[in-house]
């Protein structure tokens, strides 16, 4: 971790301790979507021959322990305890009714044997790997068609050792899509809390085709030059709660998705009823985003109390002709931006397709987006909204949005193919957004 990232992370921890982090429980929360469960039955990874010396490969030990949990079928489930130490392992699968608990000082670390990493099929809503045709390398920790799973602990670490994968991408020698750090598929009733995630090979936490997922009190870390290390990507999923976390990575901190072009349209599972609250972090890309892979549709989204600094874009909503689907009923409120290149960007021209089979008549519908109570300092470009000529974005409303440049220059908004409203916006909003406004 870079020195600046360490300082940022420790500042985050100190701030929350000083404020009384436990007091956040009294704040508005969606964490009750999935109640935390106590497991009476506990086993330790050491009981299955694992050695936490950072050299011994413990893949078989993790697989045996989880196989044991699956077949014990204890009422109330079983907790797998990972004690202090560095536990090197290949990828492994979780099972239902289990808690993966990382003690203070425990690190589960991925092996770097990329040549023998297992392959899995592409996601049906993507039709291929996100960055390469064909299949995908299996995620480091997997959950498929399971329920009642908790990943938690005393701020232990899950380390993907992604550097070797980033180099394959940079050298253009990558054969298949890089592995995620954690992928949850077709699963429900999941809690992820009080764990540090670092150096993912690709996306960090990817709930896809899931229902009822709570992610809170986590830190997600990767260098700013690490490619595509998105923090949390809810994908064709619903009833998702993401709260009270710090994220500093090489790509979007939180990005809502629902499939890619004709594959996402065919699969037809939207992302909806997602809450993102009290997130802080930094990235060269976007703090919070929707899309661009939103072909299954995205609706009923709430993002609030977001703090983004030293980043490329604060709020980004992105799509493209050929995506189809829709993005609607989105509320974004209480956003603080500092030292951000582009404050708010809503873009209908991401120009990114999996293949040439997409339908050019599949035009996405973007409407009913409310962005309010946004404050930004040291913003290079306040905002832009670029709709789609054949289907302009409608109902895009800005309220109490103040975005200040470092030197006081008034840089106008740029808008095309959009309609909506603007109230109390500085600098002056584009004329396509009607309503009262202040002069920049």
- Which residues are identified as catalytic? 251
Q: Which structure tokens are listed for 434?
A: 């009607």
The answer to whether residues 435 and 422 touch, using CB atoms and an 8 Å cutoff, is yes
So what's the pLDDT on residue 409?
A: 81
Query: How would you write 385-411 as a 3-class SS string?
Result: EECECCECEEEEEEEEEEECCCCCCCC
Q: The pTM is what?
A: 0.93
User: What are 333's strand-pairing partners?
Assistant: 304, 372
Per-residue pLDDT of the chain (440 residues; tens, 9 = 90+): 343 344 344 334 433 433 344 444 468 999 999 999 999 999 999 999 999 999 999 999 999 999 999 998 888 999 999 999 999 999 999 999 999 999 999 999 999 999 999 999 999 999 999 999 999 999 999 999 999 999 999 999 999 999 999 999 999 999 999 999 999 999 999 999 999 999 999 999 999 999 999 999 999 999 999 999 999 999 999 999 999 999 999 999 999 999 999 999 999 999 999 999 999 999 999 999 999 999 999 999 999 999 999 999 999 999 999 999 999 999 999 999 999 999 999 999 877 899 999 999 999 999 999 999 999 999 999 999 999 998 999 999 999 999 999 888 888 999 999 999 999 999 999 999 986 544 34
Which structural domain, as residue segments, surrounds residue 371?
Answer: 3-39+161-434
Phi and psi at residue 37, to the nearest 5°: -115, 145
Specify if 393 maps to a domain.
yes
Angle at 426 between CA 422 and CA 432, to 5 degrees: 35
Specify if 88 maps to a domain.
no
Tell me how crowded residue 428 is: count the other CB atoms within 10 A of its CB: 16
Domain count, the chain: 1
Q: Where are the beta strands (DSSP E) in 111-201?
A: 119-120, 136-137, 141-144, 147-153, 156-159, 182-185, 188-193, 195-198
Structure-token match 């990943």, residue found: 151
Tell me how crowded residue 313 is: count the other CB atoms within 10 A of its CB: 24
So what's the pLDDT on residue 75?
A: 83
The domain that contains 350 carries what CATH number?
2.160.20.10
Task: Report the largest interatomic distance among the alpha carbons of the chain, rounded to a whole angstrom.
Answer: 69
User: What are 299's strand-pairing partners?
Assistant: 272, 328
Specify if 440 maps to a domain.
no
Helices (H), 247-401: 261-267
Specify if 261 maps to a domain.
yes
Specify if 143 maps to a domain.
no
Q: How far apart are CA 12 and CA 5, in angstroms?
A: 10
Distances from the Cα of 54 to the Cα of 49, 83, 87, 109, 404, angstroms:
14, 13, 6, 8, 48
Helix (H, G, I), strand (E, B) or coil at 39: coil
Specify if 61 maps to a domain.
no
So what's the pLDDT on residue 27?
A: 87
Distances from the Cα of 193 to the Cα of 156, 241, 289, 346, 439, angstroms:
10, 11, 22, 31, 45
Q: How far apart are CA 198 and CA 136, in angstroms?
A: 20
Specify if 121 maps to a domain.
no
User: What are 423's strand-pairing partners?
Assistant: 399
Helices (H), 159-314: 163-170, 261-267
Specify if 232 maps to a domain.
yes
């Amino acid at each position: 971790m870079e020195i600046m990232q360490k300082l940022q992370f420790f500042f985050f921890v100190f701030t929350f301790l000083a404020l009384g982090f436990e007091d956040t429980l009294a704040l508005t929360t969606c964490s009750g979507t999935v109640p935390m469960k106590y497991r009476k039955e506990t086993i330790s990874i050491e009981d299955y021959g694992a050695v936490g010396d950072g050299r011994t490969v413990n893949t078989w030990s993790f697989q045996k322990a989880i196989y044991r949990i699956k077949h014990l079928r204890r009422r109330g489930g079983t907790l797998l305890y990972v004690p202090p130490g560095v536990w090197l392992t290949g990828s492994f699968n979780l099972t239902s009714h289990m808690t993966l608990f990382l003690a203070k000082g425990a690190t589960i670390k991925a092996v770097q044997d990329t040549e023998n990493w297992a392959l899995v099929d592409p996601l049906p809503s993507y039709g291929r790997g996100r960055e390469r045709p064909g299949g995908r390398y299996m995620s480091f920790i997997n959950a498929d068609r399971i329920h009642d799973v908790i990943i938690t602990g005393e701020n232990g670490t899950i380390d993907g050792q992604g550097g070797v994968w980033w180099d394959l991408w940079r050298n253009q020698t990558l054969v298949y899509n890089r592995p995620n750090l954690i992928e949850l598929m077709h699963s429900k009733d999941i809690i992820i809390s009080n764990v540090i995630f670092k150096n993912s090979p690709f996306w960090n936490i990817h709930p896809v085709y899931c229902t009822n997922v709570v992610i809170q009190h986590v830190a997600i870390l990767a260098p700013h030059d690490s490619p595509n290390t998105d923090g949390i990507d809810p994908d064709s999923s619903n009833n998702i709660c993401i709260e009270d976390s710090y994220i500093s990575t090489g790509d979007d901190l939180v990005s809502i998705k629902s499939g890619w072009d004709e594959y996402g349209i065919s699969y037809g599972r939207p992302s909806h009823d997602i809450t993102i609250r009290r997130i802080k972090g930094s990235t060269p890309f976007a703090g919070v985003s929707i899309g661009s892979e939103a072909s299954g549709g995205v609706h009923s989204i709430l993002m609030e109390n977001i703090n983004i600094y030293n980043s490329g874009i604060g709020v980004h909503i992105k799509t493209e002709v050929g995506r189809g689907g829709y993005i609607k009923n989105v509320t974004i409120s209480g956003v603080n931006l500092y030292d951000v290149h582009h404050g708010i960007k809503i873009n209908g021209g991401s120009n990114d397709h999996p293949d040439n089979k997409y339908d050019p008549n599949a035009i996405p519908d973007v409407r009913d987006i409310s962005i309010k109570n946004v404050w930004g300092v040291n913003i290079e470009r306040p905002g832009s909204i670029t709709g789609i000529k054949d289907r302009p974005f409608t109902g895009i409303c800005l309220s109490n949005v103040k975005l200040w440049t470092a030197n006081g220059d008034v840089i106008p908004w740029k808008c095309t193919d959009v309609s909506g409203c603007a109230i109390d916006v500085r600098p002056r909003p584009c004329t396509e957004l009607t309503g009262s406004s202040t002069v920049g």
